[in-house]
Structure 1
Amino acid sequence: MTMIKSNAEQIVTRIQQSCDKVSRDVQEVCPIIVTKNRMNEEIQEVYSLGFRHFAENRVEKLLERQKAFSQEDIVWHLIGPLQKRKVKQIVNQIQYFHAIDRLSIMEEIDKRLDSPLKCFLEVNVSGEESKHGFKTSEVFEAYEVAKQYSNIQIIGLMTMAPFEANDEAIRNYFRELKEVSKKLQSTSTLKLSMGMSQDYPIAIEEGSHFIRIGTAWFE
């Protein structure tokens, strides 16, 4: 058994255990393979194991991956910040965008889209200056503003916990995002994109639907 296959089995097991712990259906959780800095051979092995959701945090890198992996069943996620000048290059090449982090990017995205794009509002729950995203107090305005754009389909909220935070703090950050999403929900249920290699079990326990895992697959 290769290291990647062993890692994948461990991730699947931990996802199931986390779901069982809080009585969630494992089908509610979508693991995303973050391919940043990985070799194409590594990505091909994960694909061969049956995983289909892949992500990059930079436009150029995602477009490079798409050239290397043209399989039609791959679902592409852009999970990093997007500059206005790069919007037209990427928005019609992806199925999900996880990082609407400011009001000013919405009009450009909407204008460049050929069809609706599933998007998340990025929320800086921890308040770190180094992180992008709306403050929790700004999310409600952003959610309302997004409604005026027919091609932007806000399906949920995204956040990242501080890397150095302990488990209790991480849980509190994820729990706060879930509470914000509950206040926003009306006719539709919003999804949560939270959890990475170091904290995805906690994220699942706190309601995450999309977990963005990178190094845990490969190292």
Structure 2
Amino acid sequence: MSDDAIKAHADPVIPIVDGIVAKLRAHAAGPDAALTCDDLLAMVGHQSHVLAIMIFALLNLLPGPPGYNSLMGVAMFVISIAMLRRRPMRFAQWFGRLRLPIWVIRKLLDVLATIIGWAARLSAPRWRALVGAHAMPAIAVIGVVLGLVNISPIPFMNIVPSTGLAIICLGVLNQDGAAVVLGSALGALGATLSILAIWVILALLLSVGDMV
């Protein structure tokens, strides 16, 4: 679909996500179905920072082996820094070679289908002052902060901030300022919960240390 057609669409995010879904389905049907982080960036486009952040935020909601969620947090942080600096996205060589297995790709396809349904029913272009070009540095800073929060290895602490960041990105892509506000509130809640969890763990460790 052309850029003009996307802009004219009632929900601009739908054709954008449709394009990624088509690429993922084609990749999943190939002989080498595993997907590397570099492959994913190539599909998204090295200048499509908001879409890439949303994809990795959604990936962070999927279960994975130990350390998986922290790596997704690193990806969000790196992409947000590139967005803040207005540079093309690029991962370090070792990170770019990390492989996402086929079941992750299939789960991501399911999540993206849900996103399309949600956008069609609940989201629409509105409050565009919050999603214009002038707002992108602030969105990038939020991505940096929530990316750092998601690097935390504490179990389940990634769910709220990743959901918030995904909703923010969806709002930007769909020109929906209300979604940006909702996502920012969830992101702030997630960051607060993570900081409190870290504080409690540190306090417990110090207490145990004093007792020993």
Structure-2-length-normalised TM-score: 0.26
Q: Which has the higher helix share?
A: 2
The one of the two structures with greater contact order (alpha-carbon pairs below 8 A, sep at least 6) is 2
Higher-Rg member (1/2): 2
Q: Which has the higher strand share?
A: 1
